[in-house]
Structures are given as structure tokens and as C-alpha cells.
Amino acid sequence: MAITEADLEECASEPIHLIGAVRPTGCIFAVTGPELRVVSASRNVRELLDRDVDDVLGRPLRELVAKRCGAELAADIEALGAAPSRLLRRYEWRPGRVAATFLHREIETQRVILEVGLAPDPVSELTDRFHAQIDVHDFDAAADLSRLMDLTARRIRNLTGYDRVMVYRFQDDGSGHVAAEAKRADLGSFLGLHYPAADIPEQARRLFVLNRVRVIEDIDYTAEPVVGEPLDLSGSMYRAVSPIHLRYLKNMGVRSSLAISLVRGDALWGLVACHHETPRAVPPSLVSLTHLLSQMLSVLAERQERIEQTEIASRCRRRMQAVVEGLTPGEGLFSTLSEQLDALMAVPSASGFALVEGRQIRTTGTVPPEALIASIASWLTSERRPLFWTRSLSRDYPPAASHRESAAGLAALRLDPAGTSWALWFRRESVATVTWAGDPDEELTRGPDGRLMPRGSFEAWRAETRGQSDAWDEGELAALAPLKHLAAQTMQVPLAAATHLLGAATDPVIILDRAGTIVDWNAALDLHLPSRFARQAPIDEGLELPAAVPTTQLLDAALRGDVWVGEARVRDESERVFEAALVPVAAGEEAPEQVALVLRDVSERKQLEAQLQHAQRMEAIGQLTGGLAHNFNNLLAVMMGSADLALEEVGPDHPAAQDIEAILNTCDDAAKIVR
């Protein structure tokens, strides 16, 4: 049967976070209340506690574990933050049974979930390999995104040993392509292949954002059911996997996998997929290290993407500045812009441009008929969008379907509050041949249990995409912002005064009066902080300027020429940090009455600085710990050597022999602790 919307909805609605089972490489239980009473546990908890699951449920944690382990668990649980915070610890659950343990909270109930690895975990060996392969300076030095992703694939394969490591990058429509690959020499290449959005349903994407590392040690595992109260396993490391995905991997010839998320904001930007043809264990310490790697790579990839966008924005901004400088002062906006049609078209590299004012239309380049342009302007006015862009105009406005050769894509900027004036940039259709990993429209089948079965072939399948233009870059759209300001200012002050606002046009700009009331803002603010502010509202309602003096005093100082620079935070969104500057807006020879608040998002930089500071602290602690361990081992070596000589000298029958052996055993225990 062919793929239908109902099939996609069925796949996307599968409750994989409530799967009710775990993989056999780990056990899980949940505790609640001041006594940390066990309310849920997986059946294989016997391997850890030597008790059946029925004997575990309902008991306080302290009754099930060694005394010291119970105290350590209670202390760590008390210190555990809210979801999705996660800790990795090692506890001696019972004499001689030390195991790595993940602690986190269930998202809705905040019950504490303990996940314990049941396989060996060679911590020191993995740590050495991680430091040998993952050098932050090497990744930081990557010249562009392509080189960063290529380096990521090669280094992660060296670290993990998987047969194939691929770096996926997702598109706006949810589909993805293999942007980098490192593989075993005898395997065929997947580099450049595209995968449809349905391969990773929406609920799976949410879990990849929440839980950045997912492991499948062997697709033929036997799941261990979770007994007791139902658990939301969204944050679980050992959560069992959807049978549909296991079949998908089997169809690819994959026996085990490791997936590492690349996240931008709260969306899945990319994915590092590691595949192996045989079962492969992933110890908890490697899971923890790859989780840190996910955070580092996400920050670096976003930064590199922003650098590339900034280069595009700078190029477009220079073109817009040239347009403004070439305008004729004193003329009406429509007349003076009509003299710069070709230059305006070139700002975002469009193939056609139209300027609309009421019934007047001026065009250049490849554009649709004027009747359709007028119709598009009327539709945009009814949509009430000051800035609109699409790479598939026919999808949003079907009447444009017959003119995709000239208007496949559209970027539109409203030039007046009434919506009678528009600047329209058109892009022609960009026909592309996409190589898919298998036919994305392959007919689906159902298994004996009635479940949908994933496609069985991943052979290269070439298809032609039509009806779309090249995508509009964020930097290109931001460069259009000065035109909106120019239109607004032309209505109030001479053109020469309006150009004063163009200094920071690609960053969000809010115009305030001396009382701190919002007068206007640019299109870049709509891109970065949509629907956050209202005209004639006090700026303090939406933005916090953490200065030592009231905002009105800052504004008065700015109007006198004292520019203020500091930090600003969006209210109810404290993780967003902006560099802020208050500068006066000149209006000819008159004293300024308005202030421009210019914002630049530095959230990424602040996060990276915090991560680097944390890494430096951890490195210092590691060096200190290593030095202490080295010195302590030297002391132990002297003690053990002396005790060996003493025992040899007095003989085994001497009254002191037993005490000397006790010294040796204690030294040996101490050496194990240090290791």
C-alpha cells in the first residue's frame, strides 16, 4: 500500500516514551517520597540486588542496598536537580557489586529514576581514548561546517570503533542528508544520501532533544518489562526501542547502533549515527562522555553556522547600504526606491523584484504577471505579516503554482502600517535531483501483529524536486530590515535623518521614546523575538535591563549623548542573553526625542564560556586528583615494600606476622581505591 497521512500519523503517535520495558544491559527502578520507596522496577533488577522484582517493589531503598550505598544515594538524590538533569555515579550496591548508575527525574511526576549498568565499564581506558580523539582545539579550528562534520565523523569512529559513522544534517522540512561519513573500507558509501522526514517521527525527534545519546547494543535483545507503576522513560538511557525502528535497522544490515544528537535551541539540528554489523556494548562512562561531546559539537556547529550566516548578512547589508546611499533625498519613497530596483533585487540575490504601492507596481528581473503580483500583495495584507518568506509560494498561495518558473520562492516586506506598500523579492524554481536512501514513497506493509513495517531497501533512488526555490538565509532576511525603517522614517523626518538608523540593521532594534514606550522596531526583531513586544507598551514589560539605575534615567542619559552598553534579558526567558546599547536617534538638527535600543544575541557565547570554565575547573580537579593519587601510590609502595621485607624477615610463624599481613591487605585495598 502507498504511504498515507494516516500511516504517518500512526507512526508519529507511537508512545515510545511509555514503552514499559528496558534493554537487558541495564536495570531500572523508580523511587519516591522521603523514604525513597521503590514504586517501579525492571524484572532484571535481580542481577543487581539478588532479589526478585516482587520483593523489591514497595520497599524503602535503604533496605535493599548496602548501608554506605544507601547513604550516598540519598545524598545524591537530594542534590539532584529537576528533569532533565542527570547524574552518573558509581555505587557499591552490595558487597563486591560496584556498578555505574544514572540518576534523573521523571518529567511529569519528578519521581527519581535509577538506571544501573549491568555490564563492565572500563572507565580509565575510555577516558584515555576520549582525550586522545576529542581535542576541543581541533574541532574549534575547523574552517567551516563541512570540515567540522567530517572531523566529527572520523574522530567519533576512532573513539567508538563502529563500522560506520554518519553525520546527518536536517532540512527545514524534516528530511535529512548524510553530510559526512567515516566507515570501514569494504562498506558502500551513504555519503550524500537523503532520508525522508518520516524516518525519524516527531516524537522520536523530541526524545533525541531531551536525551542526547541513544544506544542499541543488539537489535535482537529480549526486553525486560518494568513492573509496578507506569514510568515515562523519556529520559532513560536503557529504554527499550520501538519494534519499527529495530526492523528499520535490520533492513539496513545494522545489528547495533549509537546515536548522538546535535541540537540547536530546542530543535534537532543534526544527528551522529554510528552503525555496526555485530553486537556492540557501550559502557555507561562512554555514554556520559558522548553526552558531553553532543553538547560541545552542538555549540560548535551552531557557532560555525552563525559565522557563515554572518558572512552572508554582511554581504547583503553592504548591498542595502549602497542602495540607501544612492537614494535621492526629498522624493517620495516609491519614486526614490523605483530608481534602485536592480540594486534592491540584488540585496538577497533574488531573480526578480517588485515594488508595490497601492495600484502602482514597478518590477525588474524575472517576475510573475502584474495581476498576480497585485493579488499576492492583497493576500499578504490580509495575512497581516510584516515580514514573510517561503521557498514554496505555491504551497502557501496556490494561485502562484502556474508561475513557479518566476515565483517559486518569495520574500516580502511590508513598507507601511496599512499594508498598501510592499517590497517583493522573487526566486525562480530550483530544480534539483535528490538521491534518496531507498524510494521514500515505497509502499508500506504490515507485520503479523498489524504494525507498520519500514521500507526494506536503501538502494540509491534518484528523484527530481520541483516547485521550490533556493532557501532564504536568515542573514539575507535580516538585511532587508533597513528598508522598513527607511519607510517609517521617511513618513516623519527627512530621508537624510532616516539613514541614521542603518548602523546595526541586521540586529534587533527597538525605537523608544524618552519615557521608555515602544514606538517601533525592525524586521530583525521579528526574526529573533517574534510576538514578544507591543507598540505603545513599556519596554520594561518585555525586556529586563539589569542596570543600577531606572530605565528612564538610562534613556535620559542616552538622549544627552551618553551611550549605555550592557546586558538585557527577555522576561520569562532568562536563558536568552543580549548585549544591549542605547543610542540617540538623530532627526536632522533637532534634539533627539527617541532612542534606539540595539540588541545582539550572545546566549551561545555565554553558554560556551560557562562550559569552557566548567571544563577548566574539571581539568584542574583532575590534575590535582592525579597528583594526589600519584603521591599516595608512592607512599603505599614504600609501606608495602617495607611490610614485605618485614614479613620475610620474621617468618610466617612470628607473632607479628598477622599484623604485617593486615598492613599489606589494607595497603592493597587503598591502592584499589586510588585506581
pLDDT tens-digit series, residues 614-638? 655 665 555 556 556 655 665 666 6
Check residues 236 and 548 and name the one with the higher pLDDT.
236
Give Cβ neighbours of residue 602 (< 8 Å, ≥ 6 apart).
577, 578, 579
Instruction: Work out the pLDDT band at 463, boundaries 50, 70, 90.
Output: low
Task: Report pLDDT digits (tens) over 321-336.
Answer: 888 777 766 566 788 8
Residues 338 and 479 occupy one common structural domain: yes
Confidence band, pLDDT 50/70/90 cuts, at residue 492? very low
Q: How far is residue 214's CA from residue 207's CA, in Å, rounded to a whole number?
A: 9
Asked whether residue 364 falls in the same domain as residue 479, the answer is yes
Residue 150 lies in a domain: no
Which amino acid, one-letter code, is at 424?
A: L
Q: Find the mean pLDDT for residues 560-573.
A: 74
476 has pLDDT over 60: yes
CATH code for the domain of 636: 1.10.287
Least confident of 211-215, 355-359, 363-367, 456-460: 456-460
Domain of 394: which CATH number? 3.30.450.270
* 23 neighbors 236 (Cβ within 8 angstroms): no
Residue-level pLDDT at 462: 57
Element (DSSP H or E) covering residue 260: strand 256-264
Whether residue 88 is found in the same domain as residue 113: yes
Q: Is the peptide bond before 329 cis (omega within 30 degrees of 0)?
A: no
> What is the Cα–Cα distance from 323 to 463, expressed in whole angstroms?
40
- pLDDT tier at 496, thresholds 50, 70, 90: very low
In single-letter form, the type of residue at position 48 comes to L
- 369 and 482 in a common domain: yes
Q: Which three cell numbers stand for residue 261?
A: 544528537
Number of H helices, E strands in the chain: 22, 28
Beta bridge partners of 361: 356
CA proximity to 91, closest of 240, 284, 252, 241: 284
Same domain, 33 and 102: yes
Report the range out of 310-319, 372-381, 433-442 with the highest average pLDDT. 372-381
Looking at the fold, whether 521 and 620 belong to one and the same domain comes out as no
Q: Is residue 532 one of the residues assigned to a domain?
A: yes
Asked whether residue 491 carries a pLDDT value surpassing 50, the answer given is: no
- What the block records as the C-alpha cell of 103 is 540518576
Is 533 among the domain residues? yes
User: Mean pLDDT over residues 440-447, rounded?
Assistant: 56
Mean pLDDT within 547-561:
77
83, 117, 151 - which closes a domain: 117
449: confidence class by pLDDT, cuts 50, 70, 90: low
Residues 6+ apart with CB under 8 A from 138: 151, 155
Helix (H, G, I), strand (E, B) or coil at 631: helix
Instruction: Give the least confident one: 15-24, 128-137, 344-353, 419-428.
Output: 128-137
Supply the mean pLDDT for the chain.
Answer: 81
**Which pLDDT score is estimated for 499?**
40
571 and 514 together in one domain: yes
Q: What is the pLDDT of residues 154-209, one digit of tens each?
A: 999 999 999 999 999 988 778 888 999 999 999 988 888 888 887 788 888 888 89
Q: Is the predicted pLDDT of residue 456 greater than 60, yes or no?
A: no
What pLDDT, in 10s, does the model give residues 400-413? 999 989 999 999 99
What is the C-alpha to C-alpha distance for residues 633 and 310, in angstroms, rounded to an integer? 53
Q: What is the average per-residue pLDDT within 370-393?
A: 88
Q: Of the candidates 417, 87, 28, 437, which has an alpha carbon nearest to the alpha carbon of residue 240? A: 28
Segment (H or E) for 180: strand 176-183
Cell numbers given for 571: 522576561
Element (H, E) at 412: strand 409-414
| Structural domain span for residue 409 | 326-429+473-502
Residue 504 has pLDDT above 50, yes or no: no
Do 383 and 498 belong to one domain? yes
Q: If you ran DSSP here, which 8-state letter would residue 402 be given?
A: G
> For the residues 86-100, what does the mean pLDDT come to?
88
CATH number at residue 34: 3.30.450.20
DSSP secondary-structure letter at 111?
A: -
Strand 224-228 to 21-22 pairing:
antiparallel
pLDDT-above-70 percentage for the chain = 80
- Residue 589, Cβ neighbours under 10 Å: how many? 6
Q: Is residue 557 part of a domain?
A: yes
Asked whether residue 440 is assigned to any structural domain, the reply reads no
CB distance 240 to 17 below 8 Å: no
Domain final position from 93, 117, 141: 117
At 112, which amino acid appears?
A: V
Domain stops at, among 72, 93, 117: 117
Residue 216 banded pLDDT, cuts 50, 70, 90: very high
The side-by-side arrangement of strands in the sheet containing 267-276 is: 213-216, 256-264, 267-276, 164-170, 176-183, 194-195, 432-437, 460-465
> pLDDT, tens digit, for every residue of 25-43?
999 999 999 999 999 999 9
Please state, in angstroms and rounded to a whole number, the distance separating the CA atoms of residues 327 and 498.
Answer: 12
The confidence band for 485, taking pLDDT boundaries of 50, 70 and 90, is low
**Any residues with CB less than 8 A from the CB of 410 and at least 6 apart, and which?**
376, 388, 389, 390, 393, 400, 424, 425, 426, 427
The span from the CA of 675 to the CA of 664, in Å, is: 17
Helix pair angle (657-674, 603-650), 10° resolution: 160
Element (H, E) at 375: helix 370-383
Look at 55-69, 363-377, 463-477, 557-571 and tell me which has the smallest mean pLDDT. 557-571
- 491, 628: one domain: no
Query: For the residues of 450-488, what is the DSSP string, one character each?
Result: S-EE--S--SEEEEEE-S--PPPPHHHHHTTHHHHHHHH
Q: Are 536 and 563 in a shared domain?
A: yes
Q: Enumerate residues 6+ apart whose C-beta is below 8 A from 272.
A: 152, 153, 156, 165, 166, 167, 168, 259, 260, 261, 262, 294, 297
Report the C-alpha dihedral over residues 366, 369, 372, 373, rounded to 10 degrees. 50
Tell me the C-alpha distance between 71 and 88, whole Å.
16
Q: Are residues 616 and 538 in the same domain?
A: no
Please count the residues of the chain. 675
Q: Is residue 109 part of a domain?
A: yes
Supply the pLDDT for residue 445.
57
By CB neighbour count within 10 A (0-12 exposed, 13-18 middle, 19+ buried), where does 523 fall?
buried
The dihedral region occupied by 592, where left means phi > 0, alpha psi between -120 and 50, and beta the remainder, is beta
Whether the ω angle into residue 84 lies within 30 degrees of 0, i.e. cis, is yes
Least confident of 102-116, 212-226, 283-297, 593-607: 593-607
Residue 67 lies in a domain: yes
**Alpha-carbon distance 447 to 142, whole Å?**
46
The answer to whether the pTM exceeds 0.85 is no
Least confident of 431-435, 450-454, 542-546, 549-553: 450-454
How many structural domains comprise the chain? Answer: 4
> Which residue type does 16 have?
I
- Is there a domain that residue 288 lies in? no
d(CA 525, CA 598): 10
Residue 548 reports pLDDT greater than 80: no
Q: What is the pLDDT of residue 262?
A: 93
The residue among 261, 207, 264, 216 whose CA lies nearest residue 240 is 216
Question: What is the rounded CA–CA span in Å between residue 71 and residue 58?
Answer: 19
The confidence band for 475, taking pLDDT boundaries of 50, 70 and 90, is: confident
For CA atoms 10, 15, 20, 21, give the dihedral sign. Answer: positive
Residue 101, pLDDT score: 92
Q: Are residues 493 and 626 in the same domain?
A: no
Q: Which residue has the cell 531497501?
A: 457
Asked whether 674 and 633 are in contact (CB, 8 A), the reply is yes
